[in-house]
Structure formats: C-alpha cells, structure tokens
Structure 1
Amino acid sequence: MYNPKAFVVEDLPQLHGMMGDCRLAVLITQGEHGLQASHLPLLLDPQQGPNGSLYGHMARANPQWRDLEAGAEALVVFSGVDAYVSPGFYPSKAEHGKVVPTWNYLAVHAYGRAEVFSDPHRLRNLVSALTDRHETGRAQPWKIDDAPAEYIDSMLKAIVGFALPIQRLEGKRKLNQNRSPADVAGVRNGLAASPDPQDQALARLMPDLSSKE
C-alpha cells in the first residue's frame, strides 16, 4: 500500500496488536480464476516464524483455497478504525484556506504463502480456538462440544484449513502526523465531538501534540 514515512508502523508487537484488533480480515489471492477475496476471522500466533503466522479456514466449496494450495502469494488485509476528516477541523483553514478533506485510518497488510490442510483433528483444534476467542466474555460461551459429534464431523468435512507464515508485514497509522500540532488537535477534538463511535475511537488514538508547538 502507499505508505508515506510519517504513517509507517514497523514495531512488530504494535503490528500484531493492530491485527488482533481486527475481527474480520480479507484474504486476497491471484490465481487461475483471477483475483479472489474472502472475508475471514483469523488467528495470529506471534511466536511462529519471524513475523508470526496466521491460521484460518474457508468453505471447501470456495475455489480460493486452491490458489493457496497451488502456492500463490496471499495478501491479508487487516483494517482498523477509520474516520472522515473534514477541512473544517483544521485551524489552518481560517489562516489560508489551503486544506482539503482526507481520511484517517489504521491498516496492516500481511503477505505469505500458505499450507492448506484437511486433517479433521487439526481442523477441529482450529475451529475450537477461533470459537473460544470470539465466545470469550459471553455469559454462556458456546463450545464445539455443545453440538452433536457427528454434526461437527460433517461440518469439518465441508471446510479447508490453512496456515500462513507471514513473510512480510506493512503497517500504517494515518493520524494526521503530517499536519501541524494545532491541526492535529483540531482533528482530534472534532472527531471526539462526533456522535459516531468510530470517530470517537480514532480520536482517542491521536496524540496530543499541542505542547510541541
């Protein structure tokens, strides 16, 4: 992705944290059927490989897994909070008027080639781990063992798992770092006053640079 130096994130724990905050990633491949994309919940193991490894599954009926099986490079996109930035947020608008709208956002792109697997035991462990992650905090969390064993067995036959060691990571935090401290404060205050929860969440990520003017 286009990533000016001011917005680049290189710290690996921070990149992993941004990935973990994204509940649904986008897996993109180029193969026999052209570009394909699937929206998938994924697990990150930060200890597997120099950049960590991703684990997920998709429907066996989804032809994209064959791209992975054939060795195609995959791009996995993790999107964070985002917000429209109005020129009216900038104090510099009143000074010279040379401002335009933009968009603030967080994103991580992970690249690698995946191993595809259909082993029932391995698939069951993956589905259990994904379920446990997203059921955490519920009053009565659902477990894979709550369903009849034969039903789960049939469901596992309908999916394909994959393990994707991350070969390269790109991270971006576009939070107006290229603007003056006054403009950053103006954006932060404008988003914080918005009724939109995403605007408010992004405002909380923006630094307070007013003391650096």
Structure 2
Amino acid sequence: MLIHPWDAPHDEAEWRDWLALHDFGELAVNGLSGEPPYVQPLHFAYDPGHGPHGEVITHLARPNPLWPALEADPEVLLSVVDDYVYIPGPWAAAAGVRPEHGVPTSLYSAVQLRCTAIVVDDAVQKADLLNRQVGHFQAAGLTAPAAEGEAPHGRLLPGIRGLRLEVREVRAKFKYANQKPQEVQDRIVTGLAERAGTRDAAARAHQLRRRGE
C-alpha cells in the first residue's frame, strides 16, 4: 500500500481510534506453493493492550480450506478498509482547469496489520477466545457463554478453530485530499455534504478533522 506523507496518520492514536470502531476485514494468507493467496472476510476483535501493537482474536470453521496454508506460513495480513467514497472529476479540478478535465479519485481509510497467527485448538482456550470475541460485539447476557462440554455451545467448539493474531507491524492510510489546494478541498467538502451518499458523512468528517476543523 502506497502511503504518501500527507496520507500518513498524524500519530499512533489516529489509527488506533479508527480501528477501535472497525471490526470487519479481510485476512490474507500466503497460498501453498503455486497457489494464490487465501483471502478470508471475517469479524474480529482488536485488543490494543496485548504486546506493542496489540492482538487480534477471531475464529473460523474447521473445514475452511486456508488452514494448511496458514500452518505452513503463519505470517498473515489483516486488511481493514472503510469510509471510502468516489470523488467525481469536477470536484477535484484545480483553479483554471475546466471541470470536465478534473481527475476523479477515491478517498478512504485503511489499516493493514501484519501479524503472526497462532492457531488455538485447546477447547478451554478456544471457549475463552470465543467469549472474548462475542463480548466485543454484544452486551453480556445476550448469548450464553461457551464452555467445554456444557450446553448450549460446548458441542459446537470442535467445529471451529480459534486464531490469535499477534500484530508485528501496522501500516495505516487516511487518504482525504489534504494535499490539494484549499479551494479543491472546500469543493470536495461541499460536494460530500450535498451528495449525502453512503459513507459521505464519514469521509467528510475525516477530511475536516485531518485539516484541523
């Protein structure tokens, strides 16, 4: 992922705060020899308090075909992208440039976590991981906790494998046209407010936040 200086996070807190509100991404696992990578969409829970860059916990079904590749090479990448919008060419046209000559672009937030994967098969540890992940998404008491050998979820534990992803490196990008001339930025801010499409408000908020407004 190319990250220009103007798209880099202002500090570590920026990407951590954004990631705390985003818990669905794609896990990329190196394929076995001669095979393309596996890319698995999944929900996850990020724990910033584990290690220097945090830890991700998740789980997948035991029949998932990526397990042999993951066990052969546990170095993986978790990619999370959101708050993305399309910017029409006229919005991005600089002063003196005809609107139809403006260059369209995309704005988005992205965090990539390079991790070492640890497979969790122990039933007790797996139940604990599953309960932690569920606890991230919903209030206590909405779902009975998982426990080895206990109803209602104990019988389901053999059908999944847990994953702990120890984060080794973080690459983050907040691409919101902050390198553009002020008049172009203002036109984009106005355009997003008027269009009011899916994710437009979030992208507009990022653009304003990153330029200190």
Give the TM-score normalised by the residue count of structure 2.
0.87
Identify which range, 103-112 or 82-91, moves more after superposition.
82-91
Aligned to 2:180: 179
Q: Do the aligned partners of 1:53 and 1:166 also contact (CA within 8 Å) in 2? A: yes
Aligned to 1:84: 86
Structure 1 residues 113 and 85, CA, compared in 2 at 3 Å: closer, same or farther?
same
Aligned to 1:104: 107
Q: How far apart in 2 are the matches of 1:24 and 1:35?
A: 19
Aligned to 1:120: 123
Query: Does residue 150 of the first structure (1) align with residue 151 of the second (2)?
Result: yes
Q: Do the aligned partners of 1:81 and 1:105 also contact (CA within 8 Å) in 2? A: yes
Aligned to 1:61: 63
Identify which range, 106-115 or 193-202, moves more after superposition.
193-202
Aligned to 2:132: 129
Structure 1 residues 79 and 208, CA, compared in 2 at 3 Å: closer, same or farther?
closer
Structure 1 residues 180 and 152, CA, compared in 2 at 3 Å: closer, same or farther?
same
Instruction: Kindly provide the CA deviation profile for residues 127-177 of structure 1, in whole angstroms up to 9, marking residues without a partner as x.
Output: 2222222224xxx96223499933412211111111111111100000001
Structure 1 residues 14 and 65, CA, compared in 2 at 3 Å: closer, same or farther?
farther
Structure 1 residues 171 and 123, CA, compared in 2 at 3 Å: closer, same or farther?
same
Shift of 1:10: 6.2
Q: 1:129 aligns to what SS in structure 2?
A: helix
Instruction: Kindly provide the CA deviation profile for residues 167-211 of structure 1, in whole angstroms up to 9, marking residues without a partner as x.
Output: 111000000012011111110111111231311221111127999
Unpaired stretches in structure 1, ≥5 consecutive residues: none
Q: What percentage of aligned pairs have identical amino acids?
A: 21
Alpha-carbon RMSD: 2.6
Unpaired stretches in structure 2, ≥5 consecutive residues: none
Query: Does residue 201 of the first structure (1) align with residue 191 of the second (2)?
Result: no
Aligned to 1:49: 51
Structure 1 moving runs of 4+ over 6 Å: 208-211
Shift of 1:49: 1.4
Instruction: Kindly provide the CA deviation profile for residues 87-143 of structure 1, in whole angstroms up to 9, marking residues without a partner as x.
Output: 2224636x223521000000001102111111122221222222222224xxx9622
Aligned to 2:30: 30
Q: 1:189 aligns to what SS in structure 2?
A: helix
* Aligned positions, number: 208
Q: 1:63 aligns to what SS in structure 2?
A: coil
Q: How far apart in 2 are the matches of 1:199 and 1:133?
A: 27
Give the TM-score normalised by the residue count of structure 1.
0.87
